[in-house]
């Protein structure tokens, strides 16, 4: 009875385990404050690594060899060093830490959240292995003994492996049949034809000669609304009629008429089939090799057999009671007068059920024959393998309980009895024989010993497995990047002589540095510079403030912050505009700037000596409700900087000193800019509400100023 | 976070469940736990909990596992354990488990004791009292089981008993189930009716008449007819009941009622589009020597619903015999449509029908456009579907007459492109050479110069 457990057919290869719930859910209690305050201590590499790696070439650290003491002041890691190692996380951090900080936090959080949702959904139910990725190609000549097993392999499932008699041949450039919702099934009737469907709800017939023919395009589901973008298509008894499926049912489409012209409903989740609430189609399959007009439909609860000639009413229904929905099914036709075998397989739980059914013999109804049989899963081999060290045992267990990626029966033709192959996501191919299992005594002993031949195969597989596991993962050492790596040699090379353009640019640059101003007139003109990304409608206050101060428009931000509403601000602006008209042609700070109108122009307007008579410039713009500056002189600086007035403006206590210091510096004032022609100044200084609103999106600001 | 905490609790519960299962195994002789589900491998702290819902689930999964591996004894042991656990459980939710016990128990008894009907029946009787709502369902399945074991009288008694059962107000589902029970009782009445009918017919040949048998037969008829009539009013697929009911009516000469029933069954739009309904109607009409026209119209509808139906050969032959051009045209359409389907690919009868009509058309040189019209939409896929080199070779090896018929059709439709089919038939070659222009006209290459 030992051979009833699955036996490995291939030596073990390497594998990256897929996401587990533990990867997503945080185990234990999260103590944010404590953990984050210790972050630099706990994860010094993550905190300082990337910057250090980038810059270390530029530091001269003496001629002697640098010695790093690991334990300098850091608490030693407690417990097993491998315990907290989440390889996936580490690999990701190695890949991403150099650029991740550049992504805006809000955006990143959204993306992470979205991805977590997707990952979680796929943990609950992953439909990507629908259809299975393992197929048995029967021998070409009926008498021959060698069929072939076909499955995807390689790191990215980009090899098509063909396995005759236990020898793997690799052939590059294959594809995975049954890629999620982008199925391509070959026609059982005609060579060179495929039924193709996409997630967007389009169904095509593809043929070698005529290419794609679209039969249907409807992003909506067929019978009722369902959010799943999963689609499937298959052939029917008529070579020109295709079936297409979504989670709500199956339709048959005729290719001979225009798209959407002729179709009939084959299966509908609903009353006709006696479906339960929440029942959804998981996998449809054409049973043409058993009966030309029959289809199999599996849902998470039941298995249905449908006949094209009597659509909507199933000719057979059976509740499979599998723990996970059956994602792959294979038919082994039993020949005339014999029952046909259907293998159902679930992915996550590795369940495999073998049903026998017989249908549509003259006068008899379609029915299941005998009891369905459950086959041993790959993970049940664990008992047969010799005892392992605990952590090796855990790895082995993880490996063996990898979700199934496919299962297929090899018909009894040359091999004597039916042999069932199982492919796991780890790329292991195991085989089991249900007939031998049926001959087992009713009560299995607790841990049956495998036969010597089987034990040898297990040992061999285990040897290969431990070899793969023994290798340190390829990514344990962080990748190092020097600056030289980031740029090509050509890019780093000094140009032979500066071109005229470069010379001019340098001159401008020097001039701007001397003046302490900002260089705006780049050649090529500023419009050629890449536009900064449009910020979200309502950025969080911190990033708005950071953006504003980066652009030198901190006081603009401040004003926006201080004035209580947009309406008030607009009123204030209107006031100022009126003043503007009166004082046309005056000197303006913004005169040297050629970019479009911003707050800055308004503020510079405010800081104009004409309108702001006091010698020390006022940094805090007046509140919208305050009377025009021209009418009443602004309150003296002492009053402005008094704790009371600062408090009244909502400035927290700890900031007040900073603000006072800042204002003291600010009061010294930048140099006066050159005068502009009056027309340009007037043109520049007409603010509009639009420019006011979009000021945040125009970060090419006027003057470099001190930070916030 | 919350969900995780829940999960951890679940783990603990599950761990407790396994512990409980282990305790159970100590009480029961030689009980072996199957391989644990992976989520149970993580060791939990395992505090003592009563018998939570999760552990019942685990127990059920063990039962399922044992049953699917045909380990009936082990399954039975787990089931006893499950029932015991229910007795200790005072939760209100009792409806679920009773169905579970009924289904699992019936399955185990069937296989373990090889249809020991006595034990099975006593178990089912217990089950009937367990849940009121499920009473009718259990009765019906019990009757099926008895029928499968040839105990027709017991089944009949069982159904009669169920029919007389009343409990409170009937729900809609119970109403449907009651109708089904009545219908199946009607079916059994029909069975005894037809048995007595056969006896009477035999005796009639002997010249003896048995009045009591005849009376009994009529009684059966009345009971059967009454019950069968009820069920076929509800929209559904009732092929078996309709056939029996029509048989009864026909025997007593009530043709108009029979016809009405069949018409209703075939044409009522509330019923699913059932091709069998049209088949029964056609067969009825044929039995009663109805006109060709009504037969053809019945088959025409069948053709529209299921172009691949086996009656289409009859339909084609009838249409062929017709003198009307339109009907012969339809005949060609029908036979082409039949051969579109994969199931007919190697049917000699269908191919010979097509070959005969095509040959007739070619010889008479009239209506070549019919063939052209049928051939045009199939031009791009029939050659690969029917006339490939591989299929020619296989047909020749397996069935020579099929090979001949196909070769004839291929020769006319494909012209010179059918060497693989035609090469073995010398006379056919001559015929095709003679009618070569036909191919040219079919292929649309024709111009005035090649027209005959």
pLDDT score of A437: 47
* pLDDT band of A41, cuts 50, 70, 90: confident
CA-CA-CA-CA torsion for A245, A246, A248, A254, nearest 10 degrees? Answer: -30
pLDDT score of A572: 75
Residues of chain A with pLDDT > 90: what percent? 6
Please state whether A201 falls in left (phi above 0), alpha (psi between -120 and 50) or beta.
Answer: left
Higher pLDDT, A253 or A619: A253
- Nearest Cα neighbor of B437 from B419, B416, B452 is B452
* pLDDT of A676 strictly over 80: no
Say how far apart CA A600 and CA A687 lie, in whole Å. 10
* pLDDT band of B352, cuts 50, 70, 90: very high
* Positions of E strands within A359-503: 367-368, 373-374, 404-410, 419-424, 429-432
Mean of pLDDT values over A194-210: 84
Q: What is the sign of the dihedral through the CA atoms of A656, A659, A664 and A667?
A: negative
Q: Which of A365-374, A592-601, B48-57, B203-212 has the lowest mean pLDDT?
A: A592-601
Say how far apart CA B265 and CA B331 lie, in whole Å. 27
Higher pLDDT, A183 or B4: A183
* pLDDT of A567 strictly over 90: no
C-alpha of B90 from chain center: 43
* Positions of E strands within A308-386: 316-319, 326-332, 340-346, 352-358, 367-368, 373-374
Instruction: Give per-residue pLDDT as tens, A167-177.
Output: 333 333 333 34
Residue in chain B closest to A363 (alpha carbons) equals: B240
Asked whether the beta carbons of residue B340 and residue A238 sit closer than 8 angstroms, the reply is: yes
Backbone angles phi, psi at B253, to 5 degrees: 75, 15
Residue B331: burial class (beta carbons within 10 Å; 0-12, 13-18, 19+): buried
Q: What is the sign of the dihedral through the CA atoms of A468, A471, A475 and A476?
A: positive
Which of A71-75, A470-474, A595-599, B32-36 has maximum average pLDDT? Answer: A470-474
ipTM over the 0.85 cut-off: no
Per the CB < 8 A criterion, the answer to whether A161 and A170 are in contact is yes
pLDDT score of B317: 94
* pLDDT band of A519, cuts 50, 70, 90: low
CA-CA-CA-CA torsion for A116, A117, A122, A123, nearest 10 degrees? Answer: 70
Mean of pLDDT values over B404-411: 88
**Measured between beta carbons, which residues in chain B are less than 8 angstroms from residue A189?**
342, 385
* pLDDT of A418 strictly over 90: no
Q: What is the DSSP letter of A310?
A: B
**In Å, how far are A413, A534, B260 from A100, measured between CA atoms?**
57, 19, 77
pLDDT score of B300: 94
Instruction: Give per-residue pLDDT as tens, A539-560.
Output: 566 677 777 777 777 777 777 7
Say whether the peptide bond before residue A524 is cis (omega within 30 degrees of 0).
Answer: yes
Nearest-neighbour CA in chain A from B379: distance (Å):
12
pLDDT score of B318: 93
* pLDDT band of A208, cuts 50, 70, 90: confident
Instruction: Give per-residue pLDDT as tens, B74-131.
Output: 888 888 888 877 766 555 444 467 777 888 888 888 877 776 778 888 888 888 877 7
Q: What is the DSSP letter of A447?
A: S
Cα angle vertex A53, ends A49, A55, to 5°? 120
Mean of pLDDT values over B177-189: 90
Give the strand pairing for A241-246 and A249-254: antiparallel
Asked whether the beta carbons of residue A310 and residue B272 sit closer than 8 angstroms, the reply is: yes
Mean of pLDDT values over A373-399: 84
Rounded to the nearest integer, the mean pLDDT of chain B is: 78
Mean of pLDDT values over A572-593: 62
Say how far apart CA B111 and CA A372 lie, in whole Å. 13
Q: Which of A430-434, B95-99, B168-172, B278-282 has the lowest mean pLDDT?
A: B95-99
The residue among A371, A424, A432 with the most chain B CBs within 10 A of its CB, best to mutate, is A371
Per the CB < 8 A criterion, the answer to whether B52 and B17 are in contact is yes
Q: What is the DSSP letter of B325?
A: H
Cα angle vertex B123, ends B120, B124, to 5°? 85
Q: At what angle do helices B400-414 and B368-375 cross, to 10 degrees?
A: 100
* pLDDT band of B198, cuts 50, 70, 90: confident
Mean of pLDDT values over B173-186: 87
Higher pLDDT, A688 or B272: B272
What is the length of chain B? 452
Higher pLDDT, A493 or A673: A493
Tokens read off for A519: 């260089």
Burial code of A532-551, b = ≥16 C-beta within 10 A, e = fewer?
eeebeeeeeeebbbbbbbeb
pLDDT score of B340: 92
Higher pLDDT, A385 or A546: A385
Residue A412: burial class (beta carbons within 10 Å; 0-12, 13-18, 19+): middle
Backbone angles phi, psi at A284, to 5 degrees: -100, 150
Q: Which residue has the tokens 């989520």?
A: B39
Mean of pLDDT values over A288-300: 90
* pLDDT band of A485, cuts 50, 70, 90: low
Instruction: Give per-residue pLDDT as tens, B300-311.
Output: 999 999 999 999
Which of A253-267, B75-89, B209-223, B339-353 has maximum average pLDDT? Answer: B339-353
Residue A101: Cβ within 10 Å count: 11
pLDDT score of A74: 38
Backbone angles phi, psi at A148, to 5 degrees: -130, 140
* pLDDT of A701 strictly over 80: no
For B76-97, the DSSP string reads: HHHHHHHHHHHHH---S--HHH
CA-CA-CA-CA torsion for A238, A244, A248, A249, nearest 10 degrees? Answer: 10
Per the CB < 8 A criterion, the answer to whether A199 and A182 are in contact is yes
* pLDDT of A212 strictly over 50: yes
pLDDT score of B99: 76
Residue in chain B closest to A187 (alpha carbons) equals: B385
- Beta strands across the sheet bearing A232-235: A232-235, A241-246, A249-254, A263-268
Rounded to the nearest integer, the mean pLDDT of chain A is: 69
The residue among B57, B69, B336 with the most chain A CBs within 10 A of its CB, best to mutate, is B69
Q: Which residue has the tokens 């702001």?
A: A612
Cα atoms in the 13 Å half-sphere on the side-chain side of A235: 22
Give the strand pairing for A159-163 and A169-172: antiparallel
Coil/strand/helix, residue B46: coil
Residue in chain B closest to A372 (alpha carbons) equals: B68
**In Å, how far are B259, B267, B418 from B254, measured between CA atoms?**
9, 20, 56
List the end-to-end C-alpha distance of chain B, in Å, as a whole number: 87
* pLDDT band of B335, cuts 50, 70, 90: very high
Coil/strand/helix, residue A371: coil
**Measured between beta carbons, which residues in chain A are less than 8 angstroms from residue B280?**
none
For B305-317, the DSSP string reads: H-TT-TTHHHHHH
Backbone angles phi, psi at A168, to 5 degrees: -90, 130
Say how far apart CA B304 and CA A184 lie, in whole Å. 30
Q: Which of A89-93, A614-618, B255-259 has the lowest mean pLDDT?
A: A614-618
Helix-strand-coil percent breakdown of chain A, rounded to 5?
30, 20, 50
Q: Which of A71-75, A363-367, B282-286, B394-398 has the lowest mean pLDDT?
A: A71-75
Q: What is the DSSP letter of A360?
A: -
* pLDDT of A379 strictly over 70: yes
Coil/strand/helix, residue A704: coil
* pLDDT band of B316, cuts 50, 70, 90: very high
Residues of chain B with pLDDT > 70: what percent? 77
pTM of the model: 0.68
Which of A313, A374, A397 shows the shortest C-beta gap to B237? A313
pLDDT score of B311: 93
Nearest-neighbour CA in chain A from B372: distance (Å):
16
What is the length of chain A? 708
pLDDT score of A555: 75
Nearest-neighbour CA in chain B from A263: distance (Å):
12
pLDDT score of A627: 41
Q: What is chain B's Cα-based Rg?
A: 33
Residue B302: Cβ within 10 Å count: 22
**Measured between beta carbons, which residues in chain A are less than 8 angstroms from residue B71?**
442-444
**Measured between beta carbons, which residues in chain A are less than 8 angstroms from residue B276?**
310
Residue B175: Cβ within 10 Å count: 12
Helix-strand-coil percent breakdown of chain B, rounded to 5?
75, 0, 25
* pLDDT of A688 strictly over 90: no
Quick one: three-class SS letters along A169-207?
EEEECCCCCCCCCCCEEECCCCCCEEEEECCCCEEEEEE
Per the CB < 8 A criterion, the answer to whether A153 and A429 are in contact is no
Q: Which of B60-74, B179-193, B237-251 has the lowest mean pLDDT?
A: B60-74
Instruction: Give per-residue pLDDT as tens, A608-628.
Output: 444 444 444 444 444 444 444
pLDDT score of A484: 55
**Measured between beta carbons, which residues in chain B are less than 8 angstroms from residue A239?**
340, 342, 381, 385
Q: Hey, what long-range contacts does B23-26 have (CB within 8 A, 24 or more apart)?
A: B24/B81
* pLDDT band of A180, cuts 50, 70, 90: very low
Which of A198-202, B81-85, B98-102, B254-258 has maximum average pLDDT? Answer: B254-258
Tokens read off for B358: 């095509």
Asked whether the beta carbons of residue B38 and residue A379 sit closer than 8 angstroms, the reply is: yes
pLDDT score of A662: 66
pLDDT score of B12: 40
Mean of pLDDT values over A304-324: 89
pLDDT score of A396: 87
Query: What residues have CB less than 8 Å from A140, skipping those under 6 apart?
Result: none
pLDDT score of A73: 39
* pLDDT of A304 strictly over 90: yes
Say how far apart CA A405 and CA B316 lie, in whole Å. 49
Per the CB < 8 A criterion, the answer to whether A95 and A247 are in contact is no
For B361-381, the DSSP string reads: HHHHT--HHHHHHHHGGGTTT
Mean of pLDDT values over B403-424: 79
Per the CB < 8 A criterion, the answer to whether A622 and A633 are in contact is no
* pLDDT band of A34, cuts 50, 70, 90: low
Tokens read off for A490: 């050509």
**Measured between beta carbons, which residues in chain B are less than 8 angstroms from residue A311?**
273
Coil/strand/helix, residue A569: helix
């Amino acid at each position: 009875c030992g051979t009833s457990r699955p036996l490995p057919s291939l030596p073990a290869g390497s594998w990256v385990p897929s996401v587990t719930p533990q990867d997503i859910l945080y185990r234990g209690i999260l103590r944010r404050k404590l953990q984050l305050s210790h972050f630099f201590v706990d994860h010094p590499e993550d905190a300082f690594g990337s910057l250090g790696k980038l810059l270390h070439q530029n530091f001269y650290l003496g001629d002697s060899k640098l010695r790093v003491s690991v334990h300098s002041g850091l608490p030693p890691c407690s417990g097993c060093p491998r315990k907290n190692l989440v390889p996936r996380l580490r690999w990701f951090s190695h890949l991403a830490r150099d650029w991740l900080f550049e992504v805006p936090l809000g955006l990143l959080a959204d993306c992470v959240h979205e991805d977590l949702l997707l990952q979680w959904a796929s943990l609950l139910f992953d439909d990507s292995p629908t259809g299975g990725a393992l197929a048995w190609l029967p021998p070409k000549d009926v008498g021959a003994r060698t069929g072939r097993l076909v499955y995807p392999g390689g790191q990215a499932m980009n090899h098509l492996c063909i396995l005759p008699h236990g020898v793997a041949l690799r052939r590059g450039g294959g594809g995975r049949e049954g890629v999620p919702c982008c199925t391509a099934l070959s026609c059982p009737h005609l060579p060179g034809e495929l039924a193709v469907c996409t997630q967007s709800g389009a169904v095509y017939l593809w043929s070698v000669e005529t290419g794609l023919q679209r039969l249907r395009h409807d992003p909506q589901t067929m019978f009722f609304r369902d959010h799943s973008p999963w689609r499937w298509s298959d052939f029917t008894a008529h070579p020109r009629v295709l079936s297409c499926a979504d989670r709500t049912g199956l339709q048959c489409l005729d290719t001979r008429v225009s798209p959407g012209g002729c179709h009939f409903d084959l299966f509908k989740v609903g009353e006709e089939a006696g479906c339960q609430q929440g029942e959804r189609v998981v996998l449809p399959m054409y049973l043409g090799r058993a009966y030309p007009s029959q289809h199999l439909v599996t849902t998470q609860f039941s298995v249905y057999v449908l006949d094209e000639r009597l659509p909507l009413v199933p000719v057979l229904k059976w509740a499979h009671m599998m723990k996970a929905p059956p994602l792959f099914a294979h038919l082994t036709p039993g020949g005339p007068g014999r029952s046909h075998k259907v293998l159902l397989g679930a992915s996550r739980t590795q369940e495999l059920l073998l049903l026998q059914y017989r249908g549509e013999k003259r006068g008899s109804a379609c029915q299941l024959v005998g009891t369905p049989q459950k086959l041993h899963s790959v993970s049940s081999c664990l008992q047969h393998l010799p005892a392992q060290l605990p952590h090796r045992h855990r790895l082995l267990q993880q490996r063996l309980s990898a979700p199934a990626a496919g299962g297929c029966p090899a018909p009894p033709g040359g091999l004597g009895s039916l042999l069932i192959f199982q492919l796991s996501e780890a790329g292991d191919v195991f085989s089991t024989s249900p007939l031998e299992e049926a001959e087992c005594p009713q009560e299995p002993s607790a841990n049956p010993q495998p036969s010597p031949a089987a034990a040898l195969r297990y040992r061999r597989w285990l040897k290969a497995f431990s070899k793969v596991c023994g290798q340190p993962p390829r990514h344990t050492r962080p990748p190092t990047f020097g600056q030289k790596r980031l740029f090509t040699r050509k890019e780093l090379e000094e140009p032979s002589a500066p071109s005229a353009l470069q010379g001019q640019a340098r001159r401008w640059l020097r001039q701007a540095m001397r003046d302490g101003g900002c260089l705006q007139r780049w050649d090529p003109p500023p419009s050629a510079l890449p536009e900064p990304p449009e910020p979200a409608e309502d950025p969080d206050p911190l990033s708005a403030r950071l953006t504003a101060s980066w652009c030198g428009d901190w006081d603009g931000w401040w004003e926006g912050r201080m004035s209580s509403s947009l309406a008030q601000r607009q009123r204030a602006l209107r006031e100022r505009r009126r003043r503007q008209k009166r004082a046309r042609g005056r000197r303006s700070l913004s005169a040297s700037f050629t970019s479009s109108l911003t707050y800055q122009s308004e503020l510079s307007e405010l800081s104009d000596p004409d309108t702001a008579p006091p010698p020390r410039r006022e940094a805090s713009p007046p509140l919208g409700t305050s009377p025009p500056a021209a009418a009443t002189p602004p309150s003296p600086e002492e009053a402005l900087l008094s704790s009371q007035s600062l408090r009244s403006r909502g400035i927290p206590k700890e900031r007040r000193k900073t603000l006072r210091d800042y204002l003291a510096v600010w009061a010294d004032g930048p140099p006066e800019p050159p005068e502009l022609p009056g027309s340009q100044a007037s043109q520049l200084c007409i603010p509009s509400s639009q420019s006011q609103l979009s000021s945040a999106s125009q970060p090419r600001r006027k003057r470099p100023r001190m930070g916030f | 976070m919350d969900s995780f905490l829940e999960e951890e609790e679940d783990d603990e519960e599950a761990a407790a469940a396994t512990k409980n299962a282990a305790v159970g195994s100590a009480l029961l002789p030689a009980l072996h736990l199957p391989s644990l589900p992976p989520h149970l491998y993580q060791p939990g702290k395992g505090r003592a909990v009563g018998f939570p819902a999760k552990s019942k689930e685990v127990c059920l999964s063990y039962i399922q596992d044992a049953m699917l591996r045909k380990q009936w004894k082990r399954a039975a042991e787990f089931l006893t354990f499950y029932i015991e656990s229910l007795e200790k459980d005072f939760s209100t939710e009792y409806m679920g488990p009773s169905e579970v016990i009924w289904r699992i128990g019936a399955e185990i008894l069937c296989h373990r004791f090889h249809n020991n009907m006595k034990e099975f029946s006593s178990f089912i009787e217990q089950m009937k009292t367990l849940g009121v709502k499920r009473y009718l369902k259990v009765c019906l399945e019990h009757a099926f089981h008895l029928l499968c074991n040839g105990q027709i009288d017991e089944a009949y008694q069982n159904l009669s008993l169920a029919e007389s059962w009343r409990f409170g107000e009937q729900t809609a589902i119970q109403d449907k189930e009651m109708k089904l029970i009545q219908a199946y009782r009607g079916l059994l009445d029909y069975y005894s009716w037809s048995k007595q009918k056969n006896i009477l017919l035999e005796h009639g040949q002997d010249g003896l008449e048995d009045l009591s048998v005849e009376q009994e037969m009529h009684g059966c008829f009345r009971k059967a007819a009454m019950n069968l009539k009820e069920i076929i009013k509800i929209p559904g697929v009732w092929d078996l009941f309709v056939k029996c009911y029509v048989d009864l009516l026909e025997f007593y000469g009530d043709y108009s009622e029979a016809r009405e029933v069949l018409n209703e069954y075939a044409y009522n739009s509330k019923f699913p589009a059932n091709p069998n309904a049209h088949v029964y109607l056609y067969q009825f009409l044929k039995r009663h020597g109805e006109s060709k026209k009504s037969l053809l119209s019945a088959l025409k509808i069948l053709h529209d619903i299921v172009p691949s139906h086996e009656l289409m050969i009859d339909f084609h032959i009838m249409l062929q015999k017709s003198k009307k051009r339109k009907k012969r045209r339809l005949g060609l359409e029908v036979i082409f449509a039949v051969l579109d389907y994969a199931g007919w690919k190697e049917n000699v009868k269908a191919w010979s029908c097509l070959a005969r009509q095509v040959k007739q058309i070619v010889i008479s040189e009239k209506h070549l456009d019919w063939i052209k019209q049928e051939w045009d939409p199939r031009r791009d896929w029939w050659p690969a579907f029917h006339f490939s080199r591989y299929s020619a070779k296989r047909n020749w090896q397996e069935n020579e007459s099929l090979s001949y018929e196909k070769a004839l059709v291929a020769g006319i439709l494909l012209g010179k492109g059918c060497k693989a089919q035609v090469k073995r038939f010398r006379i056919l070659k001559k015929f095709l050479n003679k009618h070569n222009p036909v191919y040219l006209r079919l292929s649309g290459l024709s111009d005035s110069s090649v027209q005959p």
